Amino acid sequence: MRAVVTGGAGFIGSHVCERLLESVCDDVVCVDNFITGEPANIARLTGRAGFRLLVSDVVDGLEIDGPVDAVLHFASPASPADYLRHPLATLRVGAEGTRHALELAAAHGARFVLASTSEAYGDPQVHPQPESYWGNVNPVGPRSCYDEAKRYAEALTMAYRRSLGVDAGIVRIFNTFGPRMRPGDGRVVPNLIRQALEEAPMTVTGDGSQTRSLCYVDDLVDGVLRMLGASISGPVNLGNPHEVTMLELAHWIRRLTGSRSAIVQVPLPEDDPRRRRPDIALAAAELGWQPRTPVEEGLLRTIEWFAERRKGAGVLAEVAAPATAPSGLAVS
């Protein structure tokens, strides 16, 4: 089996490439333009038999020599800091990039899996969120470049399935964490771990009562591969129903790291969802999938990875200067 993974040098994409080579595929083609992906994420795969890196932007096209049995489309900035910095690139990869990936799958009769997102639900008014819920998205807000790019990508995927018979499926990925997240990518888990390890103030947006449901990356990848081996269209939620407030998460990470950092409040970003928890009944029924890694165990593995990276580098590579306390109200 030969698979093409767009965005394969990203956080989740690199784990997908690695798992495919370990258990599913003889050959994996990783496609990435490194706008947010990192060479270090695939360093252990480079030079390995069956692995090929193609440095390219899927927005410009996607031509692969030889057979293709699977296309997994993970290319896109995914953290708020990244897609707010690259809104046009985010919209283009959701549109033209998805079309090119679908065209590749159509040309080869390959199974196609779209990595969509829980952001398709926006700031949900239904809790937990089932796949049947159409969402509550602000189409003109600052986050819309990501939310609407993924919603369009879903619509395009279904159009190719219905009109051209492409064997296409959609997974909606909820908050995922683990090794290879960038310390400065703006997402809550790496932010809090980095701040805790540096003994810097740990920032919680708003009053910290907003919730997320955190899934360890190994479990998420298992769900993706189960979707790859299925024939259903989805969308299928992949995430951990274990819901935690951001203030609880900050205290949890501070305890696990043994940090003495203060926890401080900073303003809540515009359109930030108040609650987020997946209904995973469909994934359980259709894929036989559910997360197996306890959140605390996943956090400990992630903290260990960040600590080792920090120790090896002397300082975190993405921190240009010592952290200073942000303006805000100390809550601990």
Residues 147, 192 share a domain: no
Whether residue 143 is found in the same domain as residue 260: no
**Same domain flag for 27 and 131:** yes
- How many CB atoms within 10 Å of residue 332? 14
Catalytic residues: 146
Single-letter code of the amino acid located at 44: R
Which residue(s) pair with 29 in the sheet?
4, 52
Does a structural domain hold residue 306? yes
Residue 283 lies in a domain: no
Q: How far apart are CA 289 and CA 304, in angstroms?
A: 27
Q: Each residue of 256-266: pLDDT tens digit?
A: 999 999 999 99
Residue 162 and residue 40 share a domain: yes
Q: Using the predicted structure, report yes or no on whether residue 331 has a pLDDT greater than 80.
A: no
| Percent of the chain's residues with pLDDT above 70 | 94
Please give the backbone phi and psi of residue 196, each rounded to the nearest 5 degrees, phi first: -65, -45
- Which range marks the domain in which residue 310 is found? 181-212+242-272+293-330
Say yes or no: 232 and 137 in one domain: yes
Q: List, for residues 59-109, the tens digit of each pLDDT value.
A: 999 999 999 999 999 999 999 999 999 999 999 999 999 999 999 999 999
CATH number for the domain that contains residue 324: 3.90.25.10
pLDDT at 132: 97
Q: Which amino acid is at 35?
A: I
**105 and 78, same structural domain?**
yes
223 membership: H or E segment, kind and range? helix 217-228
pTM: 0.91
Please give the single-letter amino acid code of residue 228.
L
